[in-house]
Amino acid sequence: MAKRSVDQWNRLSDAQRKRYVAAGRTGSLTGTAGLTPVQVRRYYLEGGDLGGGRGRHPGKGAAPVKATNASSIGNATSEQVKQLRNWRKNRAPKWLPKSQAVMGDDTAAILSQIGLQPKNWGEVTITANDNGTYTMTVTSKRSNRVAKVLLPDRDSVLEVRNLFNQNSRRELVGKKEADRLDKYWSRSDGIAWQIGFDIRYVSAVTNVTATPTPTGRAFPT
């Protein structure tokens, strides 16, 4: 991506710069939490993708943002954990699993911030970060929108993988819940949504084309 000038940075409104700095702190800007204002500025000038810091609203049904951000970096308070539990029970999008066996509240809350229905997901890339977290990037198949969320660890990545794979979902939940999830991860004719799925690790790149149908693929090691 083309680099930006210092003048472009200086022309940003104070509110927009604060949003970028906040997104750098929580990890939603680059996928790495704890960036300083100086690092955020450098990322901007080097032409980094700004989709995670534009202040987009996640949309209806998204989990509380502060509680989600705190949970994604392991700093959630007991009250924030309770907020996410209540959100999961009463207000979570229907395409997310209800069962803790498939996905914990923290991962479900993170995915809710994407703000797109799975049927509109074009490609999903999960990239390992040096600090042990993973950046999940979702591109829309209907626009140039890009959403980035931060998965805290490999367990969270496994939960996302289980959500995509119909066999895994059916092994972990009862028939009623499995049928409900199939409804939201398939077209009206029952055919699974086609979503490109790519998991990238620090030492290697594993390219997988995954859909919410049985693939028979083992999760890469």
Q: What is the pLDDT of residues 74-91, one digit of tens each?
A: 778 899 999 999 999 999
pTM beyond 0.85: no
pLDDT over threshold 50, residue 208: no
Whole-number pLDDT of residue 17: 87
pLDDT over threshold 70, residue 202: no
Whole-number pLDDT of residue 216: 32
Polymer length of the chain: 221
Distances (CA, A) of 74 to 27, 63, 118, 137, 176: 12, 16, 26, 20, 32
Contacts of 119 (CB under 8 A, 6+ apart): 187, 193
Whole-number pLDDT of residue 123: 92
pLDDT over threshold 80, residue 71: yes
- Strands (E) across the chain are located at 121-128, 134-140, 146-151, 196-200, 205-208
pLDDT over threshold 50, residue 210: no
**C-alpha triplet 14, 129, 159: angle, nearest 5°:** 105
Q: If you compute the radius of gyration of the chain from its CA atoms, what whole number of angstroms results?
A: 18
Question: Which of 22-36, 87-101, 198-212 has the least mean pLDDT?
Answer: 198-212
pLDDT over threshold 60, residue 14: yes
φ and ψ at 117, to 5 degrees?
A: -70, 145
Distances (CA, A) of 72 to 106, 140, 176: 7, 23, 30
Whole-number pLDDT of residue 91: 92
What CA–CA distance (Å, rounded) separates 137 from 124? 6
pLDDT over threshold 50, residue 145: yes
Whole-number pLDDT of residue 212: 41
pLDDT over threshold 60, residue 206: no
Q: Are 173 and 192 in contact (CB under 8 A)?
A: no
Whole-number pLDDT of residue 215: 36
Q: Which two tokens stand for residue 65?
A: 């943002």
Question: Which of 15-19, 55-59, 137-141 has the least mean pLDDT?
Answer: 55-59
Judged on CB neighbours under 10 Å (0-12, 13-18, 19+), 180 is: middle
Q: What is the pLDDT of residues 100-130, one digit of tens each?
A: 888 999 999 999 988 888 989 999 999 998 8
Whole-number pLDDT of residue 52: 63
Query: Which region holds residue 45: left if phi is over 0, alpha if psi is between -120 and 50, else beta?
Result: alpha
pLDDT over threshold 50, residue 159: yes
